Amino acid sequence: MATKHEQILQYIDKLPIGSKISVRQIAKDLDVSEGTAYRAIKEAETQGYVSTIERVGTVRIEKKQKENIERLTFAEVVNIVDGHVLGGREGLHKTLNKFVIGAMQLEAMMRYIDAGSLLLVGNRFQAHKIALQQGAAVLITGGFDTSEEVKQLADRLALPIISSSYDTFTVASMINRAIYDRLIKKEIVMVEDILKPLAETPVLLPSDPVAKWHQYTELYHDTRFPVVDEQMRLIGIVTSKDIIGHEETATVEKVMTKNPITTSPRVSVASSAHTMVWEGIELLPVVDNQRKLVGVLSRNDVLKALQYTAKQPQMSETFPNLIMSHFREERQGDELVYTGEVTPQMTNHLGTIASGIMTTVMAEAGCNLLRNHRRADMVPENITVYFLKPVQMESKIQVRPRLLDISRRFGKVEVSVYQGDVLVGQAMVSAQIIDR
């Protein structure tokens, strides 16, 4: 039987897109406490099918699929730009196809506006009206208001009209940044993208005899199976090691490994791979917040996923890549050297390179050296910075990683940073190697 928490999530999931959601109302309708209702709503928000907007409330929105994750709902735009909704609240769940900056004559502007667009414009009431009539939402920059006629039109057409105190350039930058962030997420492979779903996962019950494990090994050509109770909650796992020395009549409950290591669907594959290598396990059960089994992840699944290495342009927008874009990689004899300049963005309030930036540079240089020795992905496991000296803005520095040790699973690199001939930073980087 489903728990109250699960019942609330199922109830919210069945609500029509655009429905307003209230903690008090859900508590009353489902006869649960307001605390239970609040926790379920927050989880629904985390899962991406509910959005909470200041001064508007909580709205049921369409859950993003992997292929359209870069598309924002108007509800999300309100949160991104710290805006408030002047009209058209019923359309907050809709997604925008593109945004148009209205910095031109009205006639020219309208050529670029179509249904699903978001017009960024100042206090130009006529532009607001025509955009709505063409099926576009409106974001008024500069904190301006609009006319009552436009607000009523927005309500009638269920197209949001939003006001933000930021200027047009800032608003466009914020929306663009949000889209880039989503594109980066799209290219990061998550466990839910590659797991073997529950429908395809053979499971054992604690009351099953060990003989059933033997039947499963012949039928599925595998030796590792999760053990679940009647509610499909994970309670253990059985492998060939657990079976050794036990009669076929013994129950699974007596031989299984209890409380196995698990992961969740919204964890990155790289993180799960780190866990599997570190713990030396071949099968990782995937469970939800209620510990119900949703599938399994095998080492083969992980290795296949890590072969997906085609870099998209937006991936260079991550902070480590942005930092390392200021450094040039070159060979000096047998050495790999990174040469670059300390830009103003890399500094702290004193005008010297920030310690976090320096640590990132050393970690990236160390992992890159290991990648040159092994065609594999690197997960930094331990970074010990034992010497740092202030380096002024616009100084040129050289980063010199030196390989100390490398094995099948781990690598260790010493990284030294020089300004001219002066040593200004030194660290030890240990990384875990995940074969592709």
Kindly report, residue by residue over 99-131, the tens digit of the pLDDT: 888 888 888 887 888 888 999 999 999 999 999
What the block records as the tokens of 398 is 């050289």
Mean pLDDT of 308-321: 56
Whole-number pLDDT of residue 72: 81
- From the candidate CATH numbers 1.10.287.3510, 3.40.1480.10, 3.10.129.10, 3.90.1310.10, the one assigned to the domain spanning 319-433: 3.10.129.10
**This model's pTM is above 0.75:** no
CATH class of the domain whose range is 74-187: alpha beta
What the block records as the tokens of 23 is 């903690």
CA–CA separation, 74 and 42 (whole Å): 19
Reported residue count of the chain is 436
Cβ pair 178, 76 in contact under 8 A? yes
In this structure, which topology does domain 4-60 adopt according to CATH?
Arc Repressor Mutant, subunit A (1.10.10)
Whole-number pLDDT of residue 347: 92
Specify the higher pLDDT residue, 202 or 274.
202
Q: What angle do CA 233, 235, 240 make, to 5 degrees?
A: 130
The answer, yes or no, to whether residue 159 has pLDDT greater than 50, is yes
Domain definitions of the chain by residue range: 4-60, 74-187, 192-308, 319-433
Q: What is the CATH number of domain 192-308?
A: 3.10.580.10
Cβ pair 242, 256 in contact under 8 A? yes
pLDDT digits (tens, 9 = 90+) for 241-278: 999 888 989 999 999 999 899 998 888 787 787 788 77
For 29-66, give one letter per residue: b (16+ CB within 10 A) or e: eeebeeebbebbbebbbebebbbebeebebbbbeebee
pLDDT digits (tens, 9 = 90+) for 85-98: 999 999 988 888 88
